[in-house]
Structure 1
Amino acid sequence: MLMAINLNFQVLDASLLLKIISERMDIFLRKKLPILIVTLVFSIIILLSTHIFLNTRLNLYWTKELTEKQKIEDFEYMYNILKDNYAHFYEVKKMYGYDWLEYKEQFKEKIKKTKNNLEFYYALNDILLKLHDGHTHVLSPGYYKYLFGPLGFKPYEDMFRESESSYKMWEKIFKNTYRQGELEDYYSLKKRRENVVTDVIEPGKIAYLKIYSFLIDYHKDGEEYKKERNMIYDFLRNIKDYPYLVIDISDNEGGNREYWLNAIVAPLRNKLKEVKNLSVEKTYLIRGGEYIVNLLENYIPDLKNNTIDKLPMYDLLPAGVKENFMYYATTDIVKDFEKFSKYVEPVDFNGKIFLIVSRTTYSTASIFAEFCKETGFATVIGERTRKGDGGWLMPGLMRLPNSGLIVRFDGEMIINQDGTSYFETGTVPDIEIKMIPKNPFEKDEELKQKIRQLIKSLESEEKGIK
């Protein structure tokens, strides 16, 4: 009789199954079947119960395929929030001649053609990629865990918790399709094994420090970061009497502001003695969409009083910016410098510092370049930092209702003092030099020789030698 029961453990309710088995058991007992059969039945019940329990646990994050309707709903939700809140449509259209908003129907067709959840995930990212904005993308499972783990990533904790089960599902999808890159935690994916490189370009004269990433391993209590910080400090102390220090962040795509404030600026703060007001203020424009305004008002209560027409540089702004933005905000990117520096002994370096940047330099590394320029901490040399870097105030995040995916985007636009957009310009070096190497495998060595020649040239100019 048990063999006749047709069970589908993925859809059959566990309590119903146990009820059926119990009823069959009563029948067996009433008929006073042999003890052997009763024992067998009990064994089957135990096995089935165990199977149901394990099956329920294993399928807690069952990879249910999204319907076409659900995919379109998620896309529409993302599109509508970006339409009113995303900060860089104006710049993207100006820089690339591409009006992202006009392609809504084509985007929807692309979504409709996706055959499964995996294709849907990549289609969303492809659509966002057209904005040429490294800060606007769908969070992978690995990036989700990096942000939601020890960082907490306020004020989005509730959003991250709400998406926890969804990201378990996405994690299972990527595991099943061997897409390990999406599962790897962001720190491991971006951080190279030898993150800090120290060298001497010219003994007793030119010291060289290269940092590939400013990421901090908060998920491991900053163990690697502390080692790197100590390594940097020891190096700076050893070369403190050198007349020149070169800091190379030409391959640095960002990370955490704490890194460069604590590990670089704090021990070298002798260079800031002549800075009367250690403040690096940046101005951000906000379009006025309800989603971002509600978020920012928790931190800037008077935001709606800061209408764009009150901005001191208002007359310098292009007409398109005036039409599309409603509010502005200012923040000091080094307002808490004392917190990072008070426990670090200065190394008393009094030489000149050069900071090398390139088109790869991005995000927090670009902020460091801006700090160096505005405070005079270092002379910035190289190429303009990467364009498409436009929001440092508060990362915008939204949760798509059906897939549970979280989308990151820029909700603010940084304005330079001349009214231009930082998204368009990046950081402009004090001294521009070509960074393309003759031999890619000898890139760093070629760069060191260029720096050496540049320093000799600057020394000659100071001495009046032509």
Structure 2
Amino acid sequence: MKEWLEDFNHLYDFIEANNAYLPLKERTHGYDWLELKQNYIERIENATYNEDFLVILMDAIQALQNRHSCVMFPESISYYHSYYKNMYPFCKVFSDDVLKASEYWKSIFECCYDVKYCCKFESLIIYEKGDYVVHHQTDSSEKLIGGRLIVKAVNGIQIDDAIKGCFEVDYIDWDFQRNKSYVWMISPRTFGKNALFTLEDSEGSEIDMSFCCEKDYSIQPYKYPELPLDFKIWPEKNTCYMNVQTFDLSIDGYSKAFRNFYKQIVDYEHLIIDIRGNTGGFYSTWINNIVLPLLSKEEKLQFYLVFKTDEYINCFREYYDFTTNVPKNTLDFLPPEVHEEDYNIYDYSFSFYPIYKTTFNGEIILLTDNVVYSAAEAFTSFCKQTGFATIYGTTSGGDGITPWPLYYVLPNSKIVIQLPSAMGLDHLGNANEEVRTQPDVFFESDFGDYNELIEYVLSII
């Protein structure tokens, strides 16, 4: 227990000194993460096994409510150990000792992750246009509980109030249209396998019931195209379309396909770029394969990075050569905490130049949703700031203005924690993780109807 407590105290001190998002998350989620510490300490003092300690760590990191923050999979450590072998300061994190410890933690992590995340109800309960709607996955489920039902309460607590307390077990998103917190899907981890739901049918009648559970290894409930890249052309609409499901480096292998497609569409009037469901990857992927080939003039993208002033994070910042300090009085919409002395702002700007003499000169439309994140969010923000594309869909997912993850290894267990390294700001000083990127044309599709937004765009162009 002594080593567990030592590790946990190190973790809390590290996050307090290096994580730029703590006040922001207190503002958006209504609780101070630092004040949760005593509860975790008491849980550790009552823990018996390493599995117990790991689950407490997972809960604490989940409570940070950032999709870049996690306890790293031990299975991935060998890759990072090899990749960063000669790169200081990363090699200090992914050391030989950490690699050796990861072998021990693999089976424990898999067991804890499986219990915590890999389970779903027989019926999907999806947040859809302000309500949690029950979608039947089997005929038996539909026969048992009838037609369309919405969740009104869980365990006797009004559902919107209950959601606010799920910060240790699920990612709590924000509905900008309705100004309330929500989770994408209610699963057994949200309120427990035996949660009692109060459901309301279309006629206003209510019923209390629980749902059967089953194993499930999917991360989120939405269904997206399986191909990483797809192209379509509608000649009768003078419109072309491409769907890009990821910005990881695998997409660079399709660079020739991108170029051939752009040659075909030079004379078309409209190009739809669909990145719904794209959780990111690398800036270079969207820059090299989308922006540069389609640019007709020079563009500048102005981002900023806010770092805490602790020695640990600054060692990583200096490695990436972020040295151009930006005066705080030059940005009008800074989060209030950034004015404090332990935050510094650095320039993170990009200039882009056209690479083709003849290129597509029509209207570009970008389709987004709440899953769009990280590097995909950065592309969305680029489109908004520069006017490169008109954005249709729903608010994006955030945390796109960030250069690399920050890693920290716990001194005794050698477990590695991943966190965002900086708070990203747009050209006005807004925190991207907080305000996201708002669409120019808001459109909410029905759950499961992926083509609805595409058909809407085609109907109005």
Q: By the TM > 0.5 criterion, same fold?
A: yes
How far is 1:101 from its partner? 0.4
Using the alignment, how far apart are the partners of 1:164 and 1:89 within structure 2?
30
Give the match for residue 432 of structure 1.
441
Contact 2:75 2:102 (C-alpha < 8 Å) held by counterparts: no
More off after superposition, 241-250 vs 373-382: 373-382
Alpha-carbon distance change, 154 to 422 in structure 1, aligned in 2, over 3 angstroms = farther
Contact 1:285 1:325 (C-alpha < 8 Å) held by counterparts: no
| 1:171 and 2:106 matched | yes
Using the alignment, how far apart are the partners of 2:438 and 2:113 within structure 1?
41
| 1:265 and 2:198 matched | no
Q: What letter matches 1:160 in structure 2?
A: F
Aligned pair partner of 1:296 in 305, 309, 317: 317
Alpha-carbon distance change, 351 to 79 in structure 1, aligned in 2, over 3 angstroms = same
More off after superposition, 90-99 vs 153-162: 153-162
Give the match for residue 51 of structure 2.
118
Contact 2:309 2:343 (C-alpha < 8 Å) held by counterparts: yes
Q: What letter matches 1:293 in structure 2?
A: N
Partner SS, residue 94 of structure 2: helix
Alpha-carbon distance change, 234 to 111 in structure 1, aligned in 2, over 3 angstroms = farther
Partner SS, residue 401 of structure 1: coil
Give the match for residue 260 of structure 2.
234
More off after superposition, 256-265 vs 353-362: 256-265
Partner SS, residue 370 of structure 2: coil
How far is 1:445 from its partner? 1.5
Deviation string for 1:85-109 (max 9, x for gaps)?
1111111111111100011110112
Give the match for residue 3 of structure 1.
none
How far is 1:415 from its partner? 2.7
| Unpaired segments ≥5 residues, structure 2 | 118-217
Using the alignment, how far apart are the partners of 1:424 and 1:147 within structure 2?
30
How far is 1:83 from its partner? 0.8
Under a length normalisation based on structure 2, what TM-score does the superposition of the two structures give?
Answer: 0.69
Give the match for residue 462 of structure 1.
none
Give the match for residue 364 of structure 1.
375
Deviation string for 1:32-76 (max 9, x for gaps)?
xxxxxxxxxxxxxxxxxxxxxxxxxxxxxxxxxxxx111111111
More off after superposition, 131-140 vs 201-210: 201-210
How far is 1:132 from its partner? 1.2
Contact 1:249 1:365 (C-alpha < 8 Å) held by counterparts: yes
Alpha-carbon distance change, 201 to 141 in structure 1, aligned in 2, over 3 angstroms = farther
| 1:450 and 2:450 matched | no
Contact 1:136 1:409 (C-alpha < 8 Å) held by counterparts: yes
Using the alignment, how far apart are the partners of 2:58 and 2:255 within structure 1?
35
- Aligned pair count? 356
Aligned pair partner of 1:311 in 309, 328, 347: 328
Give the match for residue 156 of structure 2.
none
Q: What letter matches 1:444 in structure 2?
A: Y
How far is 1:152 from its partner? 6.5
| 1:211 and 2:257 matched | no
Under a length normalisation based on structure 1, what TM-score does the superposition of the two structures give?
Answer: 0.68
How far is 1:386 from its partner? 1.2
Aligned-pair identity (%): 27
Deviation string for 1:347-366 (max 9, x for gaps)?
62221111111111100001
Contact 1:311 1:328 (C-alpha < 8 Å) held by counterparts: yes
How far is 1:236 from its partner? 2.6
Contact 1:251 1:360 (C-alpha < 8 Å) held by counterparts: yes
Alpha-carbon distance change, 177 to 379 in structure 1, aligned in 2, over 3 angstroms = closer
| 1:330 and 2:347 matched | yes
| 1:354 and 2:365 matched | yes
Deviation string for 1:418-466 (max 9, x for gaps)?
443222101122x1322232xx33x2211111111332xxxxxxxxxxx
More helix by share: 1
Give the match for residue 420 of structure 2.
410
Using the alignment, how far apart are the partners of 2:116 and 2:85 within structure 1?
23
Partner SS, residue 300 of structure 2: coil
How far is 1:245 from its partner? 0.5
Alpha-carbon distance change, 204 to 301 in structure 1, aligned in 2, over 3 angstroms = closer
| 1:251 and 2:277 matched | yes
Using the alignment, how far apart are the partners of 1:432 and 1:146 within structure 2?
42
Alpha-carbon distance change, 445 to 124 in structure 1, aligned in 2, over 3 angstroms = same
Using the alignment, how far apart are the partners of 1:296 and 1:330 within structure 2?
12
Using the alignment, how far apart are the partners of 1:154 and 1:417 within structure 2?
31
Using the alignment, how far apart are the partners of 1:178 and 1:200 within structure 2?
43
Using the alignment, how far apart are the partners of 1:148 and 1:235 within structure 2?
39
Alpha-carbon distance change, 118 to 383 in structure 1, aligned in 2, over 3 angstroms = same
How far is 1:147 from its partner? 4.2
| Unpaired segments ≥5 residues, structure 1 | 1-67, 183-187, 218-224, 456-466
What RMSD over aligned residues (CA atoms) do the two structures have, in Å?
3.2
Q: What letter matches 1:321 in structure 2?
A: V
Using the alignment, how far apart are the partners of 1:435 and 1:383 within structure 2?
6
Alpha-carbon distance change, 228 to 192 in structure 1, aligned in 2, over 3 angstroms = farther
Q: What letter matches 2:74 in structure 1?
A: P
Aligned pair partner of 1:86 in 11, 15, 19: 19
Q: What letter matches 2:345 in structure 1?
A: Y
Using the alignment, how far apart are the partners of 1:192 and 1:122 within structure 2?
33
Deviation string for 1:150-187 (max 9, x for gaps)?
577944123213311111222244568895999xxxxx
1:17-166 residue pairs with structure 2 within 5 A?
68-150=1-83, 154-155=87-88, 156-162=90-96, 163-166=98-101
Q: What letter matches 1:159 in structure 2?
A: V
